[in-house]
Amino acid sequence: MPRSKLPLSKAAIAGLLSASVMCCAYAPADAGATTTPSANTATPGPNLLNNGKFSLPAKYNGNIQAPQYGSIPGWAAGGSGVQDWSSLVRAFQAPPNAVQVVLLAGGDTAGTLSQTVKTTAGWTYLLQWYESGYPNDYGTPIKGVHVLWGGALVAAQSLNAKGFTNADMHWTLRREVLTATSASSILEFADATTPEDGFPGIVANVSLAGDAKLYMQASTTVARTGKVIAIVRTATGAPLDYPGLAVKLYGTWKETSFAPASTQLIATGTVVNGQYVLHLDLPAILVGHTIPAYATLSGPGFIPVTDHLTIKIS
């Protein structure tokens, strides 16, 4: 277990980790969406947080105790403070797509880490973070991490660090869907290890993004100049109206018998009361045929969603 060279209040803490579109018979896009993540992988997409990977200025060499000896850009440390460590400097396993991790203690007692984020009241957001705990040969084996959103407790995780080592930190991907109630929301992580002993819970690679649900009919029959209605909702089921969100519909077919099939953009939608009207203008050669199609939902700050369907042209 490496020892920190930072002047901490307790010599032992100096070491770490020895570290969705709907139409007619609607169904959530998540069921067949290409963006559906595995249980161990963070959903790809934007991050509304500032410095969700806990990067530090070069002058700190990837290690710092905040706020006593510096700050983590984008974040405010409270309580006894926190420690931001780099796996490139200290020998421990970081989670996927991460280098820096934050120990939620800066001394013998618990610390907190928070950030204020711009949000829109009524919208839902997907929060993702990786979590571990100080290897259990230091302090109590049961580590805890509390997550607060707007001052309310939204996740109270605990894990047993027995058997954790620097080389195998047993990183766990956590997810919570959060609803904003104002134009800004405070996200906070706090150590909840009991008893407090300076060997805390650890977090890394935190992301927050808009969470929209896309619903679409699995199969539909329309005229070649007809329309399809796509429905977009928040995770809590409320209509989602945001001009920055766009739905695009793509279809695949063969234009001639001797050429391979190609995929083309066949419609884009404008939002009205959480609905997107997709107006088709398909070639006459497709009348009587059924083509595979897929719709995408995307927009600034939102996790992209893709759903597949089939369209019969009448």
Q: Where are the domains of the chain?
A: 11-19+37-208, 212-313
Confidence of residue 13 (pLDDT cuts 50, 70, 90): very low
pLDDT confidence of residue 31 = 35
CA atoms within 13 A on the CB side of 116: 3
pLDDT confidence band for 12 (50 / 70 / 90): very low
Give the bridge partners for 267, in sequence order. 249
pLDDT digit string, tens, across residues 72-129: 999 999 999 999 999 999 989 999 999 999 999 987 889 999 999 999 999 999 999 9
CATH architecture of the domain with range 11-19+37-208: Sandwich (2.60)
What pTM was computed for the model? 0.84
Q: Using CA atoms, how far apart are residues 101 and 98, in angstroms rounded to an integer?
A: 8
Over residues 22-40, the mean pLDDT reads 40
Amino acid 198: pLDDT? 83
Segment 17-45 mean pLDDT: 45
* Res. 39 pLDDT band, cuts 50 70 90: low
Give residue 36's pLDDT.
37
Structurally, at CATH architecture level, domain 212-313 sits in Sandwich (2.60)
Instruction: Write the CA distances from 79 to 20, 46, 103, 109, 160, integer angstroms.
Output: 40, 30, 13, 8, 23
pLDDT of residue 55: 97
Q: What is the 3-state secondary structure (H, E, C) of the chain?
A: CCECCCCCCCHHHHECCCCCCCCCCCCEHHHCCCCCCCCCCCCCCCCCCCCCCCCCCHHHCCCEEECCCCCCCCCEEEECCEEEEECCCCCCCCCCCCCEEEECECCCCEEEEEEEEECCCCCEEEEEEEEEECCCCCCCCEEEEEEEECCEEEEEEEEECCCCCCCCCCCEEEEEEEECCCCEEEEEEEECCCCCCCCCEEEEEEEEEECEEEECCCEEEECCCCEEEEEEEECCCCECCCCCCEEEEEEEECCCCCCCCEEEEEEEEEEECCEEEEECCCCHHHCCCEEEEEEEEECCCECCEEEEEEEEEC
Instruction: Write out pLDDT tens, residues 146-171.
Output: 999 999 999 998 889 888 988 999 99
Q: What phi and psi, each to the nearest 5 degrees, are found at residue 121?
A: -55, 130
Q: Using one digit for the tens of pLDDT, what is the confidence trace for 204-254?
A: 999 999 999 999 999 999 999 999 999 999 999 999 988 889 999 999 999
Per-residue pLDDT reduced to its tens digit, 259-269: 899 999 999 98
